[in-house]
Amino acid sequence: MTPKHIGFIMDGNGRWAEAHGMPRVEGYKAGLEALLRVASECAKCGVEVISVYAFSTENNARPQEEIAAIFDVVTKFNKAYDGDFKVIYMGDVDSLPDEVAQSVRLVEYNTADNEGMTLNICLNYGARDDIIHAAKLAYDHGDYTLDTFESNLSSGTLPPLDAIVRTGGEKRLSNFMLYEAAYSELFFLDKLWCDMTEQDVDAILSEFECRNRKFGK
Ligand code: FPP
């Protein structure tokens, strides 16, 4: 079966730029190109949603130049995007600089009626914050059922997260969709994100089909 929802931890953009003799910030531009390749192939293969980790709450501790470069790539994408993906965001966007936050609202508005794959961009996102927020809502409403709790997460309206792919050689989740990851199939690739190709997506989807998903049964 094709996964309905895949999460991508897009790691290795800075290292890719350094390996090509470029400043790290150039890696995020190449990272966007890789994202568009990966997203198009996922859509072509019938994936309904991809969630991509563009900026974690912890990334706020990075050098200002790097943060600005990531926001610049994201803002330009938001302003220019005219494809058929439905673009949505997850994370504390309102705390970001006005221009970034406004571009997020713009692309969400412009693509709201699109019928293509959903591209869920996790920006200023952290899974622990999201879980605590969902728990507070449960407390406020006095409703502690599993279904309600899950609907309180930012991913509440999205299909279950079938798989998580992390590039760049590290084997950890780094505060990405921790609750949703409970039964996700995990893929760790040594390849740097900017080097991802359509064939890599096809290989992941083929391996996913071979995995025996038991959900604890
Ligand atoms: C991981 O660190 C990656 C990031 C912090 C940001 C990734 C963002 C993009 C590729 C831009 C995507 C664009 C849109 C519109 C969503 P790193 O790549 O700096 O890691 P490294 O230091 O290990 O190389």
Between CA 92 and CA 36 the distance in angstroms is: 23
DSSP string, 76-133: HHHHH--SS-EEEEES-GGGS-HHHHHHHHHHHHHHTT--S-EEEEEEEE-HHHHHHH
Average pLDDT, the chain: 97
Atom of ligand 1 nearest to the CA of 74: 15
pLDDT tens digits, 48-90: 999 999 999 999 999 999 999 999 999 999 999 999 999 999 9
Determine the average pLDDT of the residues in 184-207: 98
177 SS3 class: coil
Q: d(Cα 63, Cα 171) in Å, to the nearest integer?
A: 24
Q: Of all protein residues, whose CA lies closest to atom 12 belonging to ligand 1?
A: 32
- Give percent of the chain above pLDDT 90: 99
d(CA 69, CA 112): 26
DSSP state of 61: G
> Is there a catalytic annotation at residue 11?
yes
In tens, the pLDDT along 108-133 reads 999 999 999 999 999 999 999 999 99
What's the pTM value of the predicted model, to 2 decimals? 0.98
Token pair of 214 as six digits: 């038991």
Q: Provide the residue count of the chain.
A: 217
103 CB near ligand 1 (under 6 Å): no
Distance 10 CA to ligand 1 centre (A): 6
**Does the Cβ of 54 fall within 6 Å of ligand 1?**
yes
Report the number of secondary-structure helices (H) and strands (E) in the chain.
Answer: 7, 6
What is the per-residue pLDDT for 171? 98
Closest ligand 1 atom to Cα of 168:
23
Q: pLDDT tens for residues 133-173?
A: 999 999 999 999 999 999 999 999 999 999 999 999 999 99
Place of tokens 């090509």: 20
pLDDT at 35: 98
Q: Which candidate in 13, 59, 110, 129 is catalytic? A: 59
Bridge partners, 186 (sequence order): 164
Ligand 1 pocket, mutate which of 8, 9, 11 (most atoms under 8 A from CB):
11
By CB atoms closer than 10 A (0-12, 13-18, 19+), residue 145 is exposed
